[in-house]
Structure 1
Amino acid sequence: MNTLTTSQKSWPLRQPAAFLALAGIIWFALYQALLPTSEALVSALPVDRTSHLGGAIQFFLYDTPKVLMLLTGVVFVMGMINSYFTPERTRALLAGRSEGVANVMAASLGIVTPFCSCSAVPLFIGFVQAGVPLGVTFSFLISAPMVNEVALTLLFGMFGWKVAMLYLGLGLTVAIVAGWTIGRMKMENYLEDWVRDIPKTSAEFEASEMTLADRVDGGFAAVHEIVGRVWPYILAGIAIGALIHGYVPEDFMASFMGKEAWWSVPLAVLMGVPMYTNAAGVIPIVQALLSKGAALGTVLAFMMSVIALSLPEMIILRKVLKIRLIATFVGVVATGILIVGFVFNAVL
């Protein structure tokens, strides 16, 4: 086994506290320079800054490094925090809890655990083995991809803390209520037979002692894994957002996704389901839609459906769930998202 001595480790791992302080200062200085730098770059190009093309280019040049910096910083910090929330620890925290309380815990854990829809099947199986109730498992599976650190960070960076907290509250409410509702329906018989027959195992876990250097190393690993996986979606989302920002007329978007069109919320949900992206890819599009007059409730409904009800996730879950349970899951979550969209279009 290869074991690095202290002298052989890289500087961040030998002096983690100093590294974190210096990295934070450099990150903040670079972040503050993004807007003037993007404006200077557009001014140096042979395009009119006030034209459609100039606006689209400035949007792309500013938002791309902004989103990537926000994502890298928060994923690094959450990678350090996530070392406390292994799959074993998560299952142990949820196993044996009563419904209601467990739904709240499961949805809350979804915010800080590094799991996405691609982890749905192994997580689902692990929860079943640990004896976690079906409804509680669904609260976690809804919350983990929809209300995660990536979504909240990008929303905060683009719209401020009020919208980020609003999305946090809405996402948690949908996850808690939908999971509890599915739990009350007693649909365990609609798990695939091989899943129901899996022998139950202990949900115990062994706590491991980790140093600050170990957690810094975990932060680097999280950045490599998560940012390395989602950056193409970020670029695609920002490119689409730049085109919407630069070229789509405000009147068109307001009529298509505005408050006055009652059908805009269900249409937004239907449009979001077949899309294959995540928070990193959809939030730049959300920003552009809102800047063009789309209603907040409609846009939130679109975003939630893209993240929580994506067709690829349904295909993955088909391995462990029968069609009726998948249909119930989609129906309950979609109803919650529709209510969110209609309510916020009515009150805002």
Structure 2
Amino acid sequence: MSSDTSFELHPKPAWTDSTVFWIAGTVAFVVVWYAIYGQLVPFSEWFVSLLPLVRGSHLEEAIKFFVYDTPKVLMLLTLVVFAMGVVRSFFSPERTRALLAGRREGFGNIAAATLGIFTPYCSCSAVPLFVGFVSAGVPLGVTFSFLIAAPMINEVALGLLFALLGWKVALTYLGFGLGVAIISGWVIGRLHLEGWLQEWVRNVRSSASDYQPDQITIVDRIKAGIEAVREIVSKVWMWIIAGIAAGAFIHGYVPADLLATIMGRDAWWSVPAAVLLGIPMYSNAAGIIPVVEALLGKGAALGTVLAFMMSVIALSLPEMIILRKVLSVKLIIVFVSVVAFGILAIGFLFNALFT
């Protein structure tokens, strides 16, 4: 009797049927994903062969690129977002803010930029995050390091770069992207521009609340991955298709010689032109990477293309408009100037190193 009571009071931890079901379902999803992904090349070739197209024509090349890249990028995006959605379940705005609050500049910039990789918030979150960080005592420069890294070096960008262009490009982009975020934030912090925040932001006081770590189960984390897929893919799939369509046009119709002249390493003005071209555009990492893939395939210089990509993601005009709610025009100009200088340096350096 006593042994039974002891067993009831101290039950052994065990997975429930629900946990096993969700894990088994996740494994089955990955297996099916891999099987379908492996058939994309023969499927695209078979599909294009059914169309009344002149073999080897520009139109056929463009359509072949579109038919193959559309499911490929969407499938890669789904898998990467799901995996990183699980990873992101270990973080939250409250935890991120708690980790950065009180950090000194230097180490704080490094920590903030690194956290930005794993907490990729969109431009819509810029204002509440900015106010939350400032109110929690996070230094201005540290906050900027986070806000630069979060959209520019997020897990979607790195995952797609790795899958489409290889680990060397992805790792190089990661290293130099972190450098831009860290150094830009440090420079802005050294300028001591807190007085250039909007007055209402300066007057914000932290409503102190200790962060309590969530008790999240494996099933909760899997559901977080599924929710991330539902939320992110539903918002960006149109941009991805638009990006692939642009990439298909470049792949099929733009002459390699012309593109190499405009975005080649020998044209000194190509990097600043790419940055200026990218700023007014609006896209996210997933939408711009198919364009990057097509540009590189046509012989465009790696540094010029990455400078274009960084400017589109980190200096987009819509994000600047949103940040105008919390930053003065003078501070936005400093922010854009410092980040643009870092991107230019990366573009020129890449073009010098990679022939």
TM-score range, shorter chain: over 0.9
Rg comparison, structure with higher value:
2
- Provide the rounded CA distance (Å) in 2 between the counterparts of 1:292 and 1:71: 24
Which one of 31, 38, 56 corresponds to residue 32 of structure 1? Answer: 38
Give deviations 1:48-67, integer Å, cap 9, x for gaps. Answer: 34211111111001110011
Q: Which residue of structure 2 lines up, in the alignment, with residue 320 of structure 1?
A: 326
Q: Equivalent of 1:91, from 67, 83, 97?
A: 97
Are the counterparts in 2 of residues 92 and 205 from structure 1 also a CA contact under 8 Å?
yes
Task: Read off the aligned partner of 2:134 and give its amino acid letter.
Answer: V
Q: How far 1:84 sits from its partner (Å)?
A: 1.3
Alignment-derived partner of residue 114 in structure 1: 120
1:81-123 CA-to-partner distances (Å, cap 9, x unmatched) read: 1111110000001011111111111101111113012210010
1:269 aligned to which of 271, 275, 287: 275
Shift in Å, 1:319: 0.4
**Aligned-residue offset at 1:46:** 1.4
Greater displacement, 171-180 / 37-46: 37-46
CA RMSD of aligned residues (A): 1.2
The equivalent position to 1:71 in structure 2, one of 73, 77, 85, is 77
The residue matched to 2:89 in structure 1 has which SS?
A: helix
Q: 1:44 maps to which residue?
A: 50
Quote the residue 1:7 is aligned against.
none
Partner of 1:210: 216
Structure 1 partner of 2:264: 258
Query: Contact 1:272/1:306 (CA < 8 Å) preserved in 2?
Result: yes
Range that drifts further, 179-188 or 200-209 = 200-209
- Whether 1:282 aligns to 2:288 is yes
d(CA) in 1 for partners of 2:79, 2:343:
30
Percent identity between the aligned chains?
63
Specify the alignment match of 1:139 in structure 2: 145
| One-letter amino acid of the structure 2 residue matched with residue 269 of structure 1 | V
Tell me the secondary structure at the aligned position of residue 88 of structure 2: helix
- 1:224-239 pair list within 5 angstroms: 224-239=230-245
Name 2:353's counterpart in structure 1: 347
Q: 1:245 to 1:323 in 2, by over 3 A?
A: same
Instruction: Kindly state the Cα deviation for residue 30 of structure 1 after the two structures are TM-superposed.
Output: 0.9
Letter in 2 for 1:310: S
Q: Aligned partners of 2:168, 2:39: CA distance in 1, in Å?
A: 24
Pairs aligned (count): 338
Structure 1 residue 14: Cα displacement: 5.9
**Counterpart amino acid of residue 264 in structure 2:** G
**In the alignment, what sits opposite 2:5?**
none
Map Cα deviations across residues 101-152 of structure 1 (whole Å, 9 max, x no partner). Answer: 1111110111111301221001000101110000000000000000001111
CA gap of 1:47–1:108, structure 2 versus 1, over 3 A, is same
The aligned runs of 1:171-186 (5 Å cut-off) are 171-186=177-192
Letter of the structure 1 residue corresponding to residue 43 of structure 2: T
Task: Please give the alpha-carbon distance, in whole angstroms, between the structure 2 residues aligned to 1:190 and 1:99.
Answer: 19
Q: State how far apart, in whole Å, the 1-side matches of 2:177 and 2:232 are.
A: 21
CA distance in 2, matches of 1:165, 1:25: 27
Extract unaligned runs of 5+ from structure 1.
1-10
2:169 & 2:209 partners in 1: Cα distance? 37
Deviates more, 1:58-67 or 1:114-123: 114-123
Partners in 1 of 2:48 and 2:94 — Cα distance? 50
- Alpha-carbon offset, residue 12 of structure 1: 7.5
Query: What whole-Å deviation, never above 9, does each CA across 1:286-323 have from its counterpart, x for those lacking one?
Result: 11111111100000000000000000111100100011
The one of 197, 200, 206 equivalent to 2:206 is 200
Q: TM-score, normalised by structure 2?
A: 0.93
Aligned partner of residue 56 in structure 2, secondary structure:
coil
Task: Give the alignment partner of residue 302 of structure 2, picking from 290, 293, 296.
Answer: 296
Match of residue 247 from structure 2:
241
Q: By how many angstroms is 1:279 displaced?
A: 0.8
Alignment pair present for 1:336 and 2:342: yes
The equivalent of 1:8 in structure 2 is: none
Instruction: Tell me how far apart the structure 1 counterparts of residues 90 and 109 of structure 2 sit (CA, whole Å).
Output: 20
Code of the aligned partner of 1:291: G
Q: 1-side partners of 2:209 and 2:271: how far apart? A: 41
- Partner of 1:85: helix, strand, or coil? coil
Moved more, 44-53 or 155-164: 44-53
**Alpha-carbon offset, residue 175 of structure 1:** 0.3
Deviations 1:255-290 (A, max 9, x none): 101011100000000000000111111111111111
Question: In structure 2, do the counterparts of structure 1 residues 342 and 203 end up closer, same or farther at CA, with 3 Å as the change threshold?
Answer: farther
